[in-house]
Amino acid sequence: MTDEPWWRGAVIYQIYPRSFFDSDDDGTGDLKGITAKLDYVASLGVDGVWLSPFFRSPMKDFGYDVSDYCDVDPTFGTLADFDALLKRAHDLGLKVIIDQVYSHTSNEHPWFMEAAGSADNPKADWYVWAKAKPDGTPPNNWQGNFGGPAWTWHPRRRRYYLHNFLAEQPDLNFHNPEVREALLQVAAFWLDRGVDGFRLDVANYYFHDAQLRDNPHAEFSRTPPRTYLFQWHVHDKSQPETLDFIGDLRRLTDRYPDKMMVGEIGDDDPLARQREYTDGPDRLHTAYSFHLLDARHATPSLFVSAIEAWKGAYGWPSWSLGNHDVPRFPTRFGGEVPTAAQVSGYLAALFALRGTIFVYQGDELGLPQAHVPFEQLKDPFAMRAYVGGAGRDGARTPMPWSDVEPMAGFTRANQTWLPIDPAHPGLAPSVQECDPGSHLAVTRRLIALRKAHPALRVGEVETLEAPPSVLALLRTRGDERVLCVINLAPKATTFSHPALDGGAVLDTGLSASLSGARLDLPAHGGAYVRAAAEG
C-alpha cells in the first residue's frame, strides 16, 4: 500500500498473557492459549501483536520482575510454545513484538543474588548501591512509583539499593558497561529467535544521576495520593546517557530486517520526552506516552494537544487509549455506564490520529473497567495505593470469549486468577460477531479504513476549526484527503467545511448525516469523509 516500514501507521494488538486464554485449565492464560486465539486477532485486521512479559519471574509484579530474560515462565509454557506462537502468527501475517524490561530485574535474578552477596564479586556493581546518610536514612529523597522511598536497605551489603518500583525490582546500573552489554545480548537472543521488535518498558528509566542529587519538590494545591508525585523527577530518570544506550539498541535492531522498537515513556512532560526519544535515526522507531492513557476526559483539546506536540517532528508517535496499567477507557472517559456511541466515538478519535495505534485486548469489545473486590486484588500497586476501585487489576481481568460458557469461555477451571466481571460476558465476541453495529464491528471497520487509505495510515494531519465539542482532522497523502470529524459531547451539533461538499462518507459504523458541506452530528456521532482532491 505504501513504501513505509510495516510498523509506521500500523495497528498493534496488545495481549496480556495471563488474561487472554487458558489452554491448560489452571485459571491463568498461557502461550498456547494465545496461539489458539490468533485467528481471532488476525480477523480484526491488525498488523501485529505486542505480548506483555512471559519470562521467568517470581510474579511479584506479574512478569515485570524478570528472573531470566531468555526463558519462559512455566506459568505460560515453554520456549517451544513461544516458537509455535511466533510461527503461527507469522503464518497469519501478524508481526510479534515482545516486552523487554531492562530498567530492573527481580531480586531473585541470579545477577542480583550474586551482586548482593558481597562488595567484591564480579557483579557487585551491576545494581545501584549507595551508603546511608549518617542518620541511617536513604542517600537522597527519590521516591518510588509504588509509594515510599526508592531505596531499600540490604543488611548483607550494608548499603541501600535503588528500585523505582517494588523493592523486589532492583534497578540495574546502566553506568556499568557490562550491564549494557548483557542486555544487548538479551535483545539479540530474541531477535535471533525471530521476533519482529520490542516494546521497551519504562525506556527512559535506564540511567540515574550518578551524583544521586535530590529531586526538586513539586508545587501542588492538593496533596497527591502518592509520594512519587511530591517531586519533579529530574535526576532519577530521563538522563542524557539513556539516549546513548537507545542508540546501541537501535544499531543492534537495525542489523535485522524489518524490526522495530516502541518505547514506553513516562515523564513529567510526557509529549516532549516521547518526541525526544524518537528524534533521530539512532533513537527509537516510535514511542508512546501516558498523555492519552492518563487522561480522564476525552475532549477535542486532548487529541489536538497530542497532534500539535508532534508538528515538524523527525520521529513517529504511537497512541493508545488503554493498556494493562490504566483503567479501561470506556469507564475512564464515559463513566460507570458508557453508551455504545461514546465508545465508538472514542475509538474513531484514536484511529484518526497520525501515528501507530495500539489496541489493548478487550478495547475492541468496549469492555468497561472490571470491579474487583479489595480482598481479590492481586496487583501490588493497586493494594498499596488503594483509594477504592480495582486499580490496574480492573483492566487485567480475563478476556470474555463467550456469553454462555462457564467462566466466559476463558477457561474450564472453576476459578480464574482474577474474577470475571459479570458485565463482560455480554460483550464477548460470541455476542458481538453477529451485530453489525457492535464495538467489535466498528473497530474492524476503523482498522480496515486505515489499511485501505494511505492518508489515514501514514498521511499528514491538520486540525480544523470546529465547535468546542468536535474533533475535526484533515488527513492527507498525495491527492487523497480524508476528513475525520467526531462529536465528543452528549449533545448534537453541526460541522461545516468546504472539503465536505461532494465527499463520500466512509463506512465507520458511526452515525452522522452529510448534506453538501455540512455534517449533522448526533451525540458522540461522527464520520470519516473522503474529499475530492484539491484543484
Q: What pLDDT is attached to residue 149?
A: 97
Is the Cβ–Cβ distance between 37 and 143 less than 8 Å?
no
Domains of the chain by residue range: 11-105+177-447, 460-531
Reported confidence tier of residue 2, pLDDT bands at 50, 70, 90:
low
For this structure, is 201 an active site residue?
Answer: yes
Candidates 65, 201, 363, 364; catalytic one: 201
Q: What pLDDT is attached to residue 325?
A: 97
For this structure, is 276 an active site residue?
Answer: no
Question: Quick one: how far is CA 322 from the chain centroid?
Answer: 7
Reported confidence tier of residue 387, pLDDT bands at 50, 70, 90:
confident
SS3 11: strand
Q: In the CATH scheme, what is the homologous superfamily, with its name and number, of domain 460-531?
A: Golgi alpha-mannosidase II (2.60.40.1180)
Candidates 81, 264, 363, 379; catalytic one: 264
Mean pLDDT of 430-440: 95
CA torsion 519-311-250-240 (nearest 10°) is -140
Question: Quick one: how far is CA 419 from the chain centroid?
Answer: 23
Q: What pLDDT is attached to residue 340?
A: 95
Q: What pLDDT is attached to residue 3?
A: 83
The CA distance from 206 to 98, in Å, is 18
Is the Cβ–Cβ distance between 125 and 173 less than 8 Å?
yes
Question: Quick one: how far is CA 17 from the chain centroid?
Answer: 14
CATH of domain 11-105+177-447: 3.20.20.80
Asked if pLDDT for residue 409 goes beyond 70, the answer is yes
240: DSSP letter? T
Asked if pLDDT for residue 490 goes beyond 80, the answer is yes
Q: What pLDDT is attached to residue 370?
A: 97
pTM of the model: 0.97
Residue 508 grid cell:
465507520
Q: 215-274, pLDDT tens digit by residue?
A: 999 999 999 989 999 999 999 999 999 999 999 999 999 999 999 999 999 999 999 999
Q: 173-190, pLDDT tens digit by residue?
A: 999 999 999 999 999 999
Asked if pLDDT for residue 389 goes beyond 90, the answer is no
Share of the chain above pLDDT 90, in %: 96
Q: What pLDDT is attached to residue 535?
A: 59
Angle at alpha carbon of residue 235, lines to 233 and 238, rounded to 5°: 75
